[in-house]
């Protein structure tokens, strides 16, 4: 059985390889075992769990601050395989789902296009993002959003998926989907990514 002194002498690169195979929960538990493990785990988390690492697959360092400002301005949330890859240390995952209220999608889509992302319409979408957004806004305004539920029905039987449109933008080998929500973006994120 190794003693504490031999464990302390393991090179940092080896610790990082060990930590990369741990889930965030396992890393948190491991970090509580001793002061040394806490310091190693904290150092690893500070290096590995950064915005730059999470978004660096589809944004340059220069764009990172602007993107965070965009998130703050529009309530944009980021999820999808790219974020999962961030947590399980799989740097090959480059697809992101971004969620925001339909009323803010024009700002977000325009930001993507102005930063070199190309709008890739699906078969039923118009060729230009601005035109398809305008069509989607018109359709959404004309729909009645009242859901009638009789008193004897259980509200828990209804799942509300508030995603009303999805637009795809590509740049290089990465893809970003902009999912428009009718209301709170977190509600859309949870309805799409909770399975």
Spans of all domains in the chain: 4-48, 53-193
Quote the CA–CA distance of 180 and 175 in Å, as a whole number.
16
Contact 87, 28 (CB under 8 A): no
Nearest by Cα to 95 from 82, 112, 85: 82
pLDDT digits (tens, 9 = 90+) for 56-97: 777 888 888 898 999 999 999 888 766 666 665 666 656 888
**pLDDT band (50, 70, 90) for residue 10:** confident
Q: Which segment of 52-56, 103-107, 135-139, 168-172 scores lowest on mean pLDDT?
A: 52-56
- How far is 195 from 193, CA to CA, in rounded Å? 6
Q: Compute the distance between CA of residue 5 and CA of residue 76 in angstroms, rounded to an integer.
A: 47
**Residue 181: partners with Cβ closer than 8 Å, 6 or more residues away:** 99, 100, 101, 102, 162, 163, 164, 187, 188
Q: 50-59: string of b/e by CB count within 10 Å (b at 16+)?
A: eeeebbebbb
């Amino acid at each position: 059985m190794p003693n504490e002194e031999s464990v302390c002498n393991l090179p940092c690169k080896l610790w990082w390889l060990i930590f990369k195979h741990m889930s965030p929960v396992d890393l948190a538990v491991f970090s509580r075992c001793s002061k040394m493990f806490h310091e190693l785990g904290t150092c690893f988390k500070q290096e590995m769990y950064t915005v730059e690492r999470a978004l660096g697959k589809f944004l340059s360092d220069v764009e990172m601050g602007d993107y965070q400002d965009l998130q703050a301005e529009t309530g944009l949330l980021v999820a999808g395989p790219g974020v999962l890859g961030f947590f399980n240390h799989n740097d090959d995952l480059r697809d992101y789902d971004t969620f925001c209220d339909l009323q803010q999608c024009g700002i977000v889509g325009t930001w993507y296009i102005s930063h070199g992302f190309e709008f890739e319409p699906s078969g039923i979408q118009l060729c230009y993002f601005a035109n398809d957004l305008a069509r989607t806004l018109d359709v959404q305004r004309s729909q009645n959003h009242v859901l009638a539920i009789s008193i004897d029905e259980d509200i828990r039987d209804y799942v509300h998926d508030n995603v009303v449109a999805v637009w795809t933008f590509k740049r290089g080998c990465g893809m970003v989907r902009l999912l428009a929500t009718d209301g709170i973006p977190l509600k859309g994120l949870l309805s799409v990514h909770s399975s």
